[in-house]
Chain A
Amino acid sequence: MSSAPVYNFAYLDEQTKRMIRRAILKAIAVPGYQVPFASREMPMPYGWGTGGVQLTASILGAGDVLKVIDQGADDTTNAVSIRKFFEKTAGVETTSLTGDATIIQTRHRIPEEPLTADQILVYQVPIPEPLRFLEPRETETRQMHALQDYGLMHVKLYEDISRHGHIATTYAYPVKVEARYVMDPSPIPKFDNPKMDMCSALQLFGAGREQRIYALPPYTQVTSLDFEDHPFERTKFEKPCGLCGATGVYLDEIVTDDQGGRLFVCSDTDYCEGRRGHETDGGVL
């Protein structure tokens, strides 16, 4: 007998996957509603995407092509280790090309290339409750969701404007789903918020430590909260990407030397490399 551990396909046992799939179905049926699920211990620390990994493990099939990104990049620690995890436990094909992937697990970004109806986007969520920092009691926040008692959410935006003159929330910007549930879109930049609206792909959100799953079915209306006289504004960048020259994309700042030199480049590495015509090699620059 071999002493090497034998894992079930995609690490989780089939009963666990069924449990998670049931939660996913419920989440899809009630867009934006946080469904509790029995989150398992995963072989990685909380905060590294245990929720997203469990979702991916439950929906992954042998024919799927997996892409994993962390802040838009395919080559950062979190993305590389999760990709390797599924290469080892499921033996599925992986890619860094957005267009080739059937499942994309993401931490804090939505790819620049528009998603299609045959793709699923899996988000890693640290804190699923958008009302948490305003109302610490879970019993109370559940009541507030049930009764659509969302005045408090605007108090947060009000405070932003009174303090900074504009809504200063730039990531994890709260949204309302189909005019019903207020939802935390996970810490994606608010630049990505409009991409969630009427998206062709299924979007799943998993919070492992907090044991919640929620979802946006394809073509769901997602509106960012705002005031009539302070409407939601997408982040704008003055210059195009320093490498590929793309405009209208989300840029990361990279410090290039100790003389104050800096470069603004696409946060979505695959998009940037595709535009520059390279074979994706996973390099930072």
Chain B
Amino acid sequence: MTDAPLIQANGLTRYYGAHIGCLDVDLEVHEGEVLAIVGESGSGKSTLLSLLSTQLPPTRGEVSYRTRDGVSRDLLSLPEAERRFLFRTDWGFVHQDARAGLRMGVSAGGNVGERLMAVGWRHYGRIRDEATDWLARVEIKAERIDDSPKTFSGGMRQRLQIAKNMVTRPRLVFMDEPTGGLDVSVQARLLDLIRGLVSDYGLAAIVVTHDLAVARLLSHRIMVMRNGRVIETGLTDQVLDDPQEAYTQLLVSSILQS
């Protein structure tokens, strides 16, 4: 294992016309590390996530990623075919709305198996075994394997989405508000699950959230964004317990205290 970061961004900037999406963001995420990006709605969190995962081209700046062969590659000049390959093997993307990450017309097993078939698995029995195994790991009963995600609850869909992403053992997972829209007890279970996966598989993750509690539970480091700029960054506990910036102080103090 090298000390080079897994993903690294320099001066990442995106304008929407004259409006700033995100401005001069530098970041590094190492293997096994979880970075939370927090901020209010419209602060550029999701733009940043799209830029990092190359779903949106930046106005300027660069992103590089260290692939499994140990070489850091410039993601923006990577051919489309290799980028897609990264997306279905080495990366995961967990959407806030599970419907965006799942194929709702395809059974749970088919959803989990899709990535395997995309990388060349051609043995039905083995694909199914692997899918069953992953459903169990995200606490979905094996007998639901042939059911459509349409029949699943919000929390189950989110767990299914995670299984679908994890089946190829990615090293980096992007999460966009993974617990958004779920009720509190379901959130807690999902956070537990994500924490377990992160520690079991040495997963690196970049988690976008507006919920500071989620950031505190999941992440090692935190980045606070406002108006497209990073205003504060540091270890999660440090930033949340002793915020330096006025805006961060406001964010922290606006959490209901028990």
**CB 8 Å contact bits of B166-210 with A (1 = contact, 0 = none):** 000000000000000000000000000000000000000000000
Q: Is A277 an interface residue (CB 8 A)?
A: no
Known: A158-B124, A227-B124, A229-B123. A147 touches B114 (CB 8 A): no
Q: Quick one: which of B109, B125, B145 contacts A229, CB cutoff 8 A?
A: B125
**CB 8 Å contact bits of B94-133 with A (1 = contact, 0 = none):** 0000000001001101100111011100111101100000
Cβ A155 vs Cβ B106 within 8 A: yes
Q: Is B80 an interface residue (CB 8 A)?
A: yes
**In the complex, what residues of B have CB within 8 A of residue A281's CB?**
none
Cβ A163 vs Cβ B124 within 8 A: no
Q: Quick one: which of A151, A161, A228, A230 contacts B118, CB cutoff 8 A?
A: A151
**CB 8 Å contact bits of A108-139 with B (1 = contact, 0 = none):** 00000000000000000000000000100000
Interface residues of A in 146-185 (CB under 8 A from B): 147, 149-152, 154-155, 158-159, 161-163
**Minimum CB–CB distance for B227 against chain A, Å:** 33
Q: Is B88 an interface residue (CB 8 A)?
A: yes
**In the complex, what residues of B have CB within 8 A of residue A163's CB?**
107, 146
CA distance A94 to B65 in the complex (A): 64
Cβ B80 vs Cβ A147 within 8 A: yes
**Which secondary structure characterizes the binding site on chain B?**
helix
CB closest residue in chain B, given A230: B124
CA distance A227 to B145 in the complex (A): 19
Q: Quick one: which of B80, B88, B128 contacts A143, CB cutoff 8 A?
A: B80
Total number of residue pairs linking A and B with CB closer than 8 Å: 53
CA distance A158 to B129 in the complex (A): 13
**Minimum CB–CB distance for B197 against chain A, Å:** 23
**Which secondary structure characterizes the binding site on chain A?**
helix
Cβ B114 vs Cβ A229 within 8 A: no
CA distance A230 to B106 in the complex (A): 19
Interface size band for B: 20 to 34
CA distance A149 to B113 in the complex (A): 15
Interface residues of A in 234-248 (CB under 8 A from B): none
**In the complex, what residues of B have CB within 8 A of residue A162's CB?**
107, 109-110, 128, 145-146
Known: A158-B127, A162-B146, A230-B124. A152 touches B114 (CB 8 A): yes
Cβ A159 vs Cβ B123 within 8 A: no
Q: Is B137 an interface residue (CB 8 A)?
A: no
Cβ B84 vs Cβ A154 within 8 A: no
**In the complex, what residues of B have CB within 8 A of residue A149's CB?**
84, 118
CA distance A155 to B110 in the complex (A): 6
CA distance A207 to B84 in the complex (A): 30
**In the complex, what residues of B have CB within 8 A of residue A154's CB?**
117, 122
Q: Is B81 an interface residue (CB 8 A)?
A: yes
**In the complex, what residues of A have CB within 8 A of residue B123's CB?**
227-229
CA distance A158 to B124 in the complex (A): 7
**In the complex, what residues of B have CB within 8 A of residue A155's CB?**
103, 106, 110, 113-114, 117
CA distance A229 to B129 in the complex (A): 13
**In the complex, what residues of B have CB within 8 A of residue A134's CB?**
103
**Minimum CB–CB distance for A117 against chain B, Å:** 34
**CB 8 Å contact bits of B124-162 with A (1 = contact, 0 = none):** 110110000000000000000110000000000000000
**In the complex, what residues of A have CB within 8 A of residue B115's CB?**
151
CA distance A227 to B122 in the complex (A): 5
**CB 8 Å contact bits of B12-29 with A (1 = contact, 0 = none):** 000000000000000000
Known: A149-B84, A151-B88, A227-B122. A158 touches B145 (CB 8 A): no
The 6 closest A-B pairs by CB, nearest first: A151-B118, A154-B117, A227-B124, A151-B117, A228-B123, A147-B81
Which residues of A come within 8 Å of B, CB atoms?
Answer: 134, 143, 147, 149-152, 154-155, 158-159, 161-163, 227-230
Q: A158-B110, A228-B123 are in contact. List 8 more A-B contacts (CB 8 A).
A: A143-B80, A149-B118, A152-B114, A154-B122, A159-B107, A159-B110, A162-B146, A228-B122
Supply 29 A–B pairs (Cβ within 8 Å), ascending by A: A143-B80, A147-B80, A147-B81, A149-B118, A150-B118, A151-B115, A151-B118, A152-B114, A152-B117, A154-B117, A155-B106, A155-B110, A155-B113, A158-B109, A158-B113, A158-B117, A158-B124, A159-B106, A161-B124, A162-B107, A162-B128, A162-B145, A162-B146, A163-B107, A163-B146, A227-B124, A228-B124, A229-B124, A229-B125
